[in-house]
């Protein structure tokens, strides 16, 4: 195998492919890239041997077709540390050479490509398409609410994707908070999602990194699903991932039909105050108190010290605005929700001091909502 490639084009692709390679592979071949050159098309494949695999294609100046497996870390680091400009890359038997000038090169030990652990081929029966920016938007609005622990319910670490008539609905929850987003799929591919799928957020992150690395930041992503796998595909990038197993909570009944108490706030002002109060909360519960009365909200917490903030709001309560209302929240969770809202104003809806609150970005768009369980406050 012999080809020339610009460092500026090759290095980002290797960085994206390396995202799926295990940091401490159980066997050496599991820590390798598979490089395959055909004409001017260089394919770089990698996987984590547990069901997440990636394949990227870039155009190079090919001179001789070939195939070799090579340590992902060694090859990516060699290219990243090479001087800017054109690199000459060649393989002979099980040796890979990266040159950037006369008598300026690095020799890397390769491995037999036949030993490379292949990503499984999947046959999909459900399909939809989203633009890369839409997939990025989905990840930013939903993934943060998914559980970070796989100990109790691994399915809660994923993003639930379902069809709702002609729209795609994405849900993330850790049972303490929930994010729900509706998206309109691209019409260039058939939308056929006949069953729900629980997608690991890491698979979406890898696809987004891959698309940006190969210059497809605005491309359409074809998404295909089998019962156990999903496949993301653009013109030059492909990601295969194993779907998460296990039941997912019934989320629709959790969303209240009516919440009569409304609190409207400036998002930036609320975040600023909440961040200061959060620094004083108990680090295990992050418990904070929101007190509503008249046209203001007081935010307070007591742990090692007592901190109180006061901000203006529009407080609408059927019992009257002079009726004092106390809400207990996990301030960390509420901060993450406010950041995900992404709007100048937000509205918080509640039914009382217990149960849950609904957080809505300002505007008439009902495609995005957040739920947060309220916590019981000590008197």
Two tokens, residue 264 = 């409207």
- Report yes or no on 342 lying in a domain: yes
Choosing from 64, 96, 115, the residue where a domain stops is 115
Chain centre to alpha carbon of residue 108: 34
Is residue 147 predicted with pLDDT exceeding 80?
A: yes
Is residue 145 predicted with pLDDT exceeding 80?
A: yes
Q: Please tell me the total count of domains within the chain.
A: 3
Is residue 150 predicted with pLDDT exceeding 80?
A: no
- Report yes or no on 268 lying in a domain: yes
Choosing from 199, 218, 242, the residue where a domain stops is 242
Shared domain for 109 and 183, answered yes or no, is no
Q: CA angle, 136 as apex, 205 and 233 as ends, to 5°?
A: 65
Is residue 365 predicted with pLDDT exceeding 70?
A: no
pLDDT of residue 190: 80
Chain centre to alpha carbon of residue 58: 24
Shared domain for 190 and 262, answered yes or no, is no
Among 51, 40, 67, 52, residue whose Cα is nearest residue 16: 52
Region 274-281: mean pLDDT is 93
| 64 vs 284: which has the higher pLDDT | 64
What percentage of the chain reaches a pLDDT higher than 90?
Answer: 83
Shared domain for 262 and 211, answered yes or no, is no
**What span, in angstroms and rounded, lies between the C-alpha atoms of 377 and 140?**
30
| Range of the structural domain that residue 288 is part of | 258-373
pLDDT digits (tens, 9 = 90+) for 197-223: 999 999 999 999 999 999 999 999 999
Neighbours of 329 (CB within 10 A): 24
Region 110-128: mean pLDDT is 92
- Report yes or no on 21 lying in a domain: yes
Shared domain for 101 and 152, answered yes or no, is no
**What span, in angstroms and rounded, lies between the C-alpha atoms of 150 and 156?**
8
Contact 329, 177 (CB under 8 A): no
Shared domain for 12 and 79, answered yes or no, is yes
Contacts of 64 (CB under 8 A, 6+ apart): 1, 2, 3, 37, 90
Two tokens, residue 160 = 């639930």
pLDDT digits (tens, 9 = 90+) for 40-55: 999 999 999 888 999 9
Shared domain for 137 and 201, answered yes or no, is yes
For residue 153, what pLDDT band results from cuts at 50, 70 and 90? confident
| 148-185 CB burial, b ≥16 within 10 A, e <16 | eeeeebebbbbbbbbbeeeebbbbbbbeebbbbbebeb
Region 337-347: mean pLDDT is 94
CATH code where residue 231 lies? 3.10.150.10
Shared domain for 181 and 283, answered yes or no, is no
- Report yes or no on 248 lying in a domain: no
Shared domain for 189 and 237, answered yes or no, is yes
Shared domain for 316 and 228, answered yes or no, is no
Shared domain for 77 and 97, answered yes or no, is yes
- Report yes or no on 223 lying in a domain: yes
Mean pLDDT (the chain) is: 94
Task: Tell me which of 71-75, 127-131, 281-285 is least confident.
Answer: 281-285
Give the β-pairing of 53-59 and 32-38: unpaired
Choosing from 84, 115, 146, the residue where a domain stops is 115
Is residue 363 predicted with pLDDT exceeding 80?
A: no
For residue 364, what pLDDT band results from cuts at 50, 70 and 90? low
Shared domain for 201 and 136, answered yes or no, is yes
Among 327, 232, 328, residue whose Cα is nearest residue 286: 328
Shared domain for 23 and 106, answered yes or no, is yes
pLDDT digits (tens, 9 = 90+) for 280-321: 898 889 999 999 999 999 999 988 789 999 999 999 999 998
User: CB-based burial of residue 23 (10 Å sphere; 0-12 exposed, 13-18 middle, 19+ buried)?
Assistant: exposed
pLDDT of residue 379: 60
Two tokens, residue 293 = 């009365």
Region 182-205: mean pLDDT is 91
- Report yes or no on 253 lying in a domain: no
- Report yes or no on 251 lying in a domain: no
Among 101, 44, 102, 40, residue whose Cα is nearest residue 75: 44
- Report yes or no on 247 lying in a domain: no
């Amino acid at each position: 195998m012999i080809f020339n490639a610009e460092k500026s084009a090759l290095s980002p692709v290797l960085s994206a492919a390396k995202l799926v390679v295990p940091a401490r592979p159980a066997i050496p071949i599991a820590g390798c890239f598979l490089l395959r050159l055909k004409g001017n098309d260089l394919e770089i494949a990698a996987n984590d041997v547990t069901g997440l695999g990636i394949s990227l294609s870039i155009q190079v100046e090919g001179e001789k077709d070939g195939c070799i497996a090579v340590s992902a870390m060694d090859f990516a680091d060699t290219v990243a540390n090479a001087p800017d400009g054109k690199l000459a890359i060649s393989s002979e038997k099980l040796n890979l050479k990266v040159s950037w000038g006369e008598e300026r090169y690095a020799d890397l030990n390769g491995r037999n490509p036949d030993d490379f652990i292949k990503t499984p081929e999947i046959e999909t029966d459900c399909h939809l398409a989203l633009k890369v920016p839409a997939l990025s938007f989905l990840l930013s609005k939903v993934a943060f609410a998914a559980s970070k622990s796989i100990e109790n319910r691994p399915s809660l670490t994923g993003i639930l994707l379902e069809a709702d008539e002609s729209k795609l609905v994405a849900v993330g929850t850790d049972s303490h908070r929930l994010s729900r987003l509706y998206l309109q799929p691209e019409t260039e591919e058939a939308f056929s999602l006949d069953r729900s799928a629980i997608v690991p957020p890491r698979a979406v992150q890898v696809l987004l990194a891959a698309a940006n690395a190969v210059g497809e930041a605005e491309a359409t992503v074809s998404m295909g699903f089998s019962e156990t796998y999903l496949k993301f595909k653009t013109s030059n990038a492909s990601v295969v991932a194993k779907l998460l197993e296990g039941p997912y909570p019934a989320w629709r009944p959790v969303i209240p039909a009516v919440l009569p108490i409304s609190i409207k706030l400036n998002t930036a002002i609320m975040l600023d105050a909440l961040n200061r109060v959060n620094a004083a909360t108990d680090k295990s519960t992050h418990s904070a108190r929101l007190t509503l009365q008249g046209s203001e909200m007081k935010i307070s917490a007591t742990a090692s010290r007592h901190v109180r903030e006061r901000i203006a709001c529009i407080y609408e309560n059927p019992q009257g605005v002079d009726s004092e209302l106390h809400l207990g929240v996990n301030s960390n969770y509420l901060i993450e929700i406010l950041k995900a809202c992404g709007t100048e104003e937000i509205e918080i809806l509640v039914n009382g001091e217990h149960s849950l609150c609904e957080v809505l970005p300002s505007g008439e768009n009902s495609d995005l909502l957040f739920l947060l369980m309220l916590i019981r406050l000590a008197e």
